[in-house]
A and B are shown apart, each in its own frame.
Chain A
């Protein structure tokens, strides 16, 4: 058999599955978004009406931008907390090897649990009426710290970001650990011989060499954060409680598609799904290209 045929035999099953389960639904959603719907009946071509509705019909016009902004904050907060802490853990485990295996396993355990479950557990812990967190704070005399955490518009989103980081911190840690292990020891030795301080070594040698890992972590964090749903749904409900302060695009989609279930639901929700996909896909491509260029500068 010629080589291409062998290749085809191996590639075809995957390609088929990929087309049926990924490409076809995506194209279908795109198609749906251009029609006017009454229930599950298409009544005619709508052009860009569904898209215009998302930007023009109250309250979606406001909720769309609010959700988008919150996704942005969610991403920024996750980069700042989850990924820097993940890097810190990786560095510490690289430096001090005692208990490395155990700690790595411990830090990664939460992501074996479904985000819905994690969100539910934390909402129980933070419950103002029966939750142990506030009970503990009050028991040690920190009454003023016993806030309604998920019931305050100022604290709700930060809490969600922290809980999300708590769940996923093991992921950047593992990736950074692997990348650190791949940096030849000579580089660090050379830096030390040249009299570089620990910070200088990290800033000028380690960090630049981590660029590929930083790129992967950033892009995956971005994709995950802009598709966020389960955790926030479990902690803040489909409306992004309280008062929409944790509303994100995933929740908005869920509400338009399933909760309100009006006759226009399929068209509008498909339009939103297409917008989300185009944005996430586009930014991911740009980011990947950017990090590739940075990587090439390393060589």
Chain B
């Protein structure tokens, strides 16, 4: 019992010591690398431990065209990365270039003045998608602090074989989707692989986005909320929450105790036919069964929707930025400039099977290409993540708890909407 105190104490101490350490240039001691006299070593920090091989391959290409720069890729555990980075950026031994979280996750670093603004320094950024660029901007100053590397889209994955066996086609209308779900349920197949268990609460707002974005009014509703013309208690938003309650019979039994690995297993093993989720789940699902034939569809707008076309919600995953204390700013800037080129984007998309944020890059995987096409045609921001993570409590943090409450039968859609309004109004001021 005391051990927990001690380990916590050590953590706090490490943080404190690092914060007190005298400022100065960040790592990048080129001489220590034993390379040529004027060769500079940049250290690149990331939370993608699983991508080391891919990054080494990608960065080798950069070194080919930039022979005087050597880049060291240094990944950390994703769950600890935010704290390690905040500490690393504050003293010596930090990164020169760092992978940065997007939106609200970027803000603490911006406000602490730990990053170099890239406006006017990386020309290629002007060609980037404006929606994705928002993820790399400071909330108050509007400056760009990173080069976006990837984005995520939200849609429904489906098992082609199960659809074929049951004579179902990807639905063109909401009613068709419900009819398909009824048919699957009657055949003993879970229609929607949705988890709402302890590890899955963060996916509930995502499920709501997939089914409800068109119902609450997509981008137009978001803009109205940001301008202060509408609130989350709006009847359209409440109706979009009600959709999730109505769909509950099509989720796995005891959904509130079901975890993410459970639904992945259900979907991969053919016990569930449709998986409403993000691009990020495509790789794990295909890894579990590479022979699985997967299709993708956008949820058709539910009856009464202000938006009458299907929507693919999405958001920027993160960006690469330059440490304000880096001793090799010029070289670090070279690297992030290169990260805004189609060469990097294409390498990134091919090696990591993700959607590159660099304009003009097309994924080689046909499914990913389809998702990218859907987003380009019908993209909308996942507003609770994109706009409502700049203060405590996070919009989606309040929402996920309340959605789970609703699925246990302890909250009405109206009460859920009211909680979200109340939560974000603790810090959100419209018109900023």
Chain A positions within 8 Å of B, measured between CB atoms, are 20-22, 24-26, 28-29, 38-41, 57-60, 123, 126-130, 148-153, 220, 223-224, 227, 229-230, 235-237, 239, 241-244, 255-256, 258-265, 268
**Chain B proximity of A182: nearest CB distance (Å):** 24
Cα separation A40 to B111 with both chains bound (whole Å): 9
Q: Which 5 pairs across A and B sit closest by C-beta, in order of nearness? A: A151-B257, A237-B198, A39-B108, A148-B254, A39-B112
Residue of A227, A239, A263 with highest tally of chain B CB at under 10 A: A263
Are A241's CB and B82's CB within 8 A?
A: no
Q: Assuming A22-B6, A25-B13, A41-B111, what are 18 further A-B pairs, CB within 8 angstroms? A: A24-B16, A28-B12, A39-B86, A39-B109, A41-B112, A59-B393, A59-B401, A123-B198, A129-B258, A150-B197, A151-B197, A153-B410, A243-B405, A258-B82, A262-B390, A263-B391, A264-B391, A265-B108
Q: Which chain A positions have C-beta within 8 A of B87?
A: 40
Are A25's CB and B9's CB within 8 A?
A: yes
Cα separation A256 to B90 with both chains bound (whole Å): 22
Are A40's CB and B400's CB within 8 A?
A: no
Q: Which chain B positions have C-beta within 8 A of A239?
A: 198, 201, 400-401, 404
Q: Which chain B positions have C-beta within 8 A of A256?
A: 392
Are B198's CB and A41's CB within 8 A?
A: no
Q: Which chain B positions have C-beta within 8 A of A236?
A: 198
Q: Which chain B positions have C-beta within 8 A of A263?
A: 107-108, 111, 390-391
B114 within 8 A of A: yes
Q: Which chain B positions have C-beta within 8 A of A255?
A: 397
Cα separation A202 to B189 with both chains bound (whole Å): 59
Cα separation A39 to B197 with both chains bound (whole Å): 31
Cα separation A39 to B393 with both chains bound (whole Å): 15
Q: Which chain A positions have C-beta within 8 A of B397?
A: 255, 259-260
**Which listed residue (A127, A237, A258) contacts B201, Cβ 8 A?**
A237
Q: Which chain A positions have C-beta within 8 A of B266?
A: 129
Closest residue of B by beta carbon distance from A171: B1
Chain B positions within 8 Å of A, measured between CB atoms, are 1, 4-6, 8-10, 12-13, 16, 19, 79, 82-83, 86-87, 90, 104-105, 107-114, 196-199, 201, 252-259, 262, 265-266, 389-394, 397-398, 400-401, 404-405, 407-408, 410-411, 419, 422-423, 426
Are B405's CB and A262's CB within 8 A?
A: no
Are B257's CB and A148's CB within 8 A?
A: yes
**Which listed residue (B16, B262, B390, B401) contacts A244, Cβ 8 A?**
B401
Are A150's CB and B401's CB within 8 A?
A: no
Cα separation A22 to B9 with both chains bound (whole Å): 6
**Which listed residue (B9, B113, B394, B411) contacts A262, Cβ 8 A?**
B394
Are A58's CB and B258's CB within 8 A?
A: no
Closest residue of A by beta carbon distance from B402: A243
Q: With A229-B4, A239-B198 as given contacts, are A129 and B12 in contact (CB-CB < 8 Å)?
A: no
Cα separation A41 to B107 with both chains bound (whole Å): 12
Are B393's CB and A60's CB within 8 A?
A: yes
Closest residue of B by beta carbon distance from A223: B1
Q: Which chain B positions have C-beta within 8 A of A60?
A: 392-393
- Provide a sorted-by-A list of 26 A–B residue pairs whose CB atoms are within 8 angstroms: A22-B9, A24-B13, A25-B9, A29-B12, A38-B108, A38-B112, A39-B107, A39-B108, A39-B109, A39-B111, A40-B90, A40-B108, A57-B393, A58-B423, A59-B398, A127-B259, A150-B257, A220-B1, A237-B199, A237-B201, A242-B408, A258-B79, A260-B392, A260-B393, A261-B105, A264-B392
Closest residue of B by beta carbon distance from A23: B9
Closest residue of B by beta carbon distance from A241: B198
**Chain A proximity of B108: nearest CB distance (Å):** 3
Cα separation A148 to B197 with both chains bound (whole Å): 11
Cα separation A153 to B266 with both chains bound (whole Å): 24
Closest residue of A by beta carbon distance from B391: A262
Q: With A24-B13, A130-B262, A150-B257 as given contacts, are A262 and B108 in contact (CB-CB < 8 Å)?
A: yes
**Chain B proximity of A74: nearest CB distance (Å):** 14
Cα separation A70 to B366 with both chains bound (whole Å): 50
Cα separation A258 to B108 with both chains bound (whole Å): 12
